[in-house]
Structure 1
Amino acid sequence: MKRTRLHQMFALSALCGAMLLHSVGVQAVTDEEILDDANTTHQIVSNGLGLAGQRYSPLATVNVDTVQQLRPVWALSFGGEKQRGQESQPMIKDGVMYVTASYSRVFAMDARTGKELWQYDARLPDGIMPCCDVINRGVALYGDLVIVGTLDAKLVALNKDTGKVVWRKTVADYKAGYSITAAPIVVKGKLITGVSGGEFGIVGKVEAYNPVNGDLIWTRPTVEGHMGYVWKDGKKIESGISGGEAGKTWPGDLWKTGGAAPWLGGSYDAETDSLLFGTSNPSPWNSHMRPGDNLFSSSRLALNPDDGSIKWHFQTTPHDGWDYDGVNELVSFSYEENGKTVKAAATADRNGYFYVLDRSNGKFIRGFPFADKITWAKGLDKDGRPIYDESNRPGAPGEGKQGSSVFVAPAFLGAKNWMPMAYSQDTGLFYVPVNEWGMDIWNEGVTYKKGAAYLGAGFTIRPLNEDYIGVLKAIDPKTGKEVWRYKNYAPLWGGVLATKGNLVFTGNPEGFLMAFDAKTGKKLYEFQTGSGVLGSPVTWEMDGEQYISVVSGWGGAVPLWGGEVAKRVKDYNQGGMVWTFKLPKEHTL
């Protein structure tokens, strides 16, 4: 009798404890939740709404018939004078939203009301050197931690209930030009991050850390010739040279300052157990200084998450002379062809070509233009290598003189830049935010100096059309066919979301969150947020209702680097807010 009563008391105590934990929202984020994020609707615990990065939701309460009734239910301002560009994706766990803001800030808020729960403001040094605005694209959640990368190239882990710092680790030297702007990801219990800084002659790298304490697990440089390492039992062990030979595709010592920064962050394909990362431009931009393919710049890489070894690579722009990078997200998807399932990965490159690769080995399946005008190359060969038009490579500089200038399309900001596309499992289409612009570009002499810009080039970006620059395009990855397009006057610089409700959401610099019919491209909804929408929209379910959230705040690379294009957006107001929407209850029944 006493034993039974004691067990009942313990059971009641455990139940009350569990209820208390749930009420204050302290449930830990597990590896299983992260791996299954694409299939769950009540929370978002990975960047990309799933590690594959498809940015697709199976929710359909908000659909083509109901989206016109979408209403804002709350908004929270980031406040202060630190507005600038806001490019974050919100994360939601147990009724709490976590989102980052410019200058490496983190906010936690009640997802039902928008009430701020806590704020973390990184104390950044004066000497940070972000090339393309002081943005941040989001956090990683793991256990009881909220983990963010900062502009001074650190990883900071915060207690998710208080915002207090649990651990802080330096990833690289910000004085050499390193920074972190991307959201880290957690794969197989490892915290994975890349670095920014390709404009400063840094050496790109992807690294894995223990998310519990910040200990380094492995490091993989992404420039050919540099040694990778793993840490086992407290010992540093060589894990092989990237590419196997120093300087094989680089002249002289330029591989030592080769760039190739994986600044956007990565995705993960569980079927092949591969981290998928892209790398940036080689340094310097002046391609005449570095004849050769300059591996692994402007490439997509598949890495082993256990030790960081490179499983395969695919270089989209060998010997890049236009700063086309290769960092754009590589999205895993599958399709049926000739009775067989093709395990593919797709990427829309800054160079204007859309690539479909075999994600098990990196082999080229097909490629096609997704930009209206491409002049730097005449096409792709059977292996996906560009067929250059050398007359549209900027000329070599003479002694004390700049080289000949060329006008080339697309511009270096890319036919598509950082802003993530979405893939619909229903239509089989990718929804790609595209920009139609070109540039005058010329080469100049340059010498590497630690912490100084290492370009060796000058440029001016120009619109290709009077009435639009941005174009949201629906693209069939199996045929290369453009199914529909929506033209936007200003450049598109925000992410895309696709849903089971046959909807595609994105935003524009003019300030509108917009929703389109995924099959036809008809615009069905728009809402003015008060500043340009650069963030990536998300949707989730709470209390039986579907919510949609997006971050608003104009800035980013376009007004800083945009040349003639910047004149189109010079009057747009900066901001910093999170907006959250849902349907009135009568429309959710």
Structure 2
Amino acid sequence: MKRRFSTLIAGLAAATSLAAAPAIAGGPTSADIVNDAATPGDVISYGMGPWQQRFSTLDKLNTQNVTKLIPVFGASLGGEKQRGQEAQPLVYDGTIYVTGSYSRLFAFDARTGEKKWEYNARLPDGIMPCCDVVNRGAAIHGDKVIFATLDAHLVALDRHTGKVLWNKKTGEYQAGYSATAAPLIVKDMVITGNSGGEFGIVGAVQARNVDTGELVWERPVIEGHVGTLKGQPNGMTGKLNASWTGDLWKTGGGATWLGGTYDPSTNTVFFGTGNPGPWNSHLRPGDNLYSASTLAIDVDTGVIKWHYQTTPHDGWDFDGVNEFVPFDATIKGKPMKLGAKADRNGYFYVLDRTNGKLMGAHKFVMQTTWANGIDLKTGRPNYVPENRPGAPDAAVKGKSVFASPSFLGGKNWMPMAFSQDTGLFYVPSNDWGMDIWNEPIAYKKGAAYLGAGFTIKPIADDHIGALRAMDPTTGKIVWEYKNKAPLWGGVLATRGNLVFTGTPEGFLKAFDAKTGAELWKFQTGSGVVGSPITWEQDGEQFVAVMSGWGGAVPLWGGEVAKTFKEISQGGMLWVFKLPKQ
């Protein structure tokens, strides 16, 4: 394999002078991964801990000195595959592991940026990713680093060499299945979702043995399908035809394409489910469970404990796949185990994570024209009937309506962060709308299954993106930072009272967590749509982020995409720290 050399920036001389640390034998265990949030010397899980709060207890870098933050190195992914770098890096044993677009995985020296190895999945010509060739990250366990590929495979590599240890197919790519999310490691199992909701696939969650890749359990998330446990039937999901008519459940969608979070205290994984198929809601009367929902699934058995559906009978492609982030808080004097979700539909939900009871639902975007609130007693939206796209008549498309948010959502895939110090969630949101109409459609294996047309439009003169700090106990927006282009990257919060996120304009930015004041920015050369991390190494605090514009916005963004079509693509891992005194 031809070796591509990393681009080394300021601080390299100091970094290369450090003696290499001895390799850690064995590698992280499942217990280490559960404890990830309490070990700032590494980042060994997506979200920096099982709850995925993306909060670091490090404070060497803080509001007083962040203006001095400088790059240590920029490591190029190389080649021609320079687009859609949505990954979150992992850091362990002196190595940074990061996935790249087109199902690639890289290992870089964490001190120098030198590439140790690179793995490129051999993708067939017929893959059908709906929303670009992205990958959002890997998982690490023992001597393995594991990631999903666009042809619906799960691949385990030797973390020292990049050699394939096992490779398992998780779905048929010819039917529209793919995979983009970072795997979740729980109790020596790799737990993953699937992608392909625009092709009439059936969403599911799979748990596999981390050492062999063999299936332990599978839970389909659409009513009528039967789960398995250790190769045996393990009960039907829901009740056949309870909320789906006829055979529509067989192509019901509900892709679990963003992966899940884990709560050790309740032995539960939480997965969001995507849009029902097709988009044309007039073809599938009913609530269409369990699409557009959050599911609480027992880790040991794959049985659904509870569900909460954010958009019953979804007619706008709002999904419900956004991450459910556990947190603890006191509500009316009572300590509670809670979870929060900023949904594509524009509402920020707080649930009791032990039973799924709705505790609060608050609008976090400028407009929600499809509903005028959430009924706290029933948990259901107060729909605005005239803002559902009209039914088509034979070959004639139905009535077009203007809906906000757009189907790309008040918040899309990009993960929010929660600060244990401020008690606030930092939500990367977008204010935009769409003209949407329904069209006739019939299911055909491997073909797009939409039955809708759309054009996305801005709704404000001064911004689309908005980073918003929300109080989950009140629903109040404490502060917001407006950005001209859509925000499409993840967020990081730290004990140094800092919040980091990137922008399509190419900047990684740092804000005051309490006030929202912009304190620092760095131009990475391409749009930042990855998720930043921080860790401690050799007594210093480091920050890293992927740079490389892409994802759903330039593909599906309509008028919005045209506005930002000049953004350069890229593929670079940037690492920063404070200069030595």
The TM-score normalised by the length of structure 1 is: 0.95
8 A Cα contact 2:84 2:529, kept in partner: yes
Specify the code of the residue in structure 2 equivalent to 1:449: K
Match of 2:466 among 448, 464, 471: 471
Partner of 1:269: 263
User: What per-residue deviation string (whole Å, max 9, x for no partner) do you get for residues 406-441 of structure 1?
Assistant: 001000000000000000000000000010000000
8 A Cα contact 2:184 2:192, kept in partner: yes
Secondary structure class of the residue paired with 2:22 = helix
Partner of 1:160: 159
Secondary structure class of the residue paired with 1:580 = strand
Match of 1:281 among 258, 275, 283: 275
Per-residue deviation, 1:337: 2.8
8 A Cα contact 2:21 2:94, kept in partner: no
User: What per-residue deviation string (whole Å, max 9, x for no partner) do you get for residues 22-77 of structure 1?
Assistant: 62455411111101001110001110000101000000000000100000001100
State whether structure 2 residue 222 is matched by structure 1 residue 223: yes
> Aligned partners of 1:95 and 1:241: how far apart in 2?
45
Q: Which runs of structure 2 are paired with 1:131-150 in the superposition (5 Å)?
A: 131-150=130-149
Structure 1: which 5+ runs fail to align?
1-19
State whether structure 2 residue 518 is matched by structure 1 residue 523: yes
Q: Which runs of structure 2 are paired with 1:61-76 in the superposition (5 Å)?
A: 61-76=60-75
Partner of 1:493: 488
Specify the code of the residue in structure 2 equivalent to 1:493: W
Partner of 1:100: 99
Match of 1:365 among 351, 359, 363: 359
Partner of 2:126: 127
Partner of 1:507: 502
Specify the code of the residue in structure 2 equivalent to 1:460: T
- Give every structure 1 segment of 4 or more consecutive aligned residues whose post-TM-superposition deviation is greater than 3 Å: 24-27
8 A Cα contact 2:180 2:257, kept in partner: yes
Partner of 2:348: 354
> Aligned partners of 1:478 and 1:167: how far apart in 2?
45
Rg larger in structure: 1
> Aligned partners of 2:25 and 2:99: how far apart in 1?
20
> Aligned partners of 2:169 and 2:270: how far apart in 1?
23
8 A Cα contact 1:26 1:161, kept in partner: no
Partner of 1:400: 395
> Aligned partners of 2:315 and 2:431: how far apart in 1?
19
The TM-score normalised by the length of structure 2 is: 0.96
Specify the code of the residue in structure 1 equivalent to 2:482: K
Per-residue deviation, 1:21: 11
Greater shift, 140-149 or 22-31, is seen at 22-31
Partner of 2:316: 322
User: What per-residue deviation string (whole Å, max 9, x for no partner) do you get for residues 500-530 of structure 1?
Assistant: 0000000000000000000000000000000
> Aligned partners of 1:578 and 1:460: how far apart in 2?
33
Partner of 2:454: 459
Partner of 2:243: 249
Q: Which runs of structure 2 are paired with 1:292-303 in the superposition (5 Å)?
A: 292-303=286-297
Identity of aligned residues (%): 63
8 A Cα contact 1:366 1:384, kept in partner: no
State whether structure 2 residue 533 is matched by structure 1 residue 534: no
8 A Cα contact 1:101 1:136, kept in partner: yes
8 A Cα contact 1:25 1:95, kept in partner: no
Secondary structure class of the residue paired with 1:23 = coil
CA RMSD of aligned residues (A): 1.0
Per-residue deviation, 1:567: 1.2
> Aligned partners of 1:492 and 1:418: how far apart in 2?
11
Partner of 1:110: 109
Partner of 2:252: 258
8 A Cα contact 2:202 2:252, kept in partner: yes
Secondary structure class of the residue paired with 2:562 = helix
State whether structure 2 residue 416 is matched by structure 1 residue 421: yes
Specify the code of the residue in structure 1 equivalent to 2:474: T
Specify the code of the residue in structure 2 equivalent to 1:499: T
Greater shift, 366-375 or 333-342, is seen at 333-342
> Aligned partners of 2:328 and 2:535: how far apart in 1?
24
8 A Cα contact 1:118 1:162, kept in partner: yes
Secondary structure class of the residue paired with 1:559 = helix
Structure 2: which 5+ runs fail to align?
1-18
Partner of 1:9: none
Partner of 1:308: 302
User: What per-residue deviation string (whole Å, max 9, x for no partner) do you get for residues 112-151 of structure 1?
Assistant: 1111000000010000000000000000101100001000
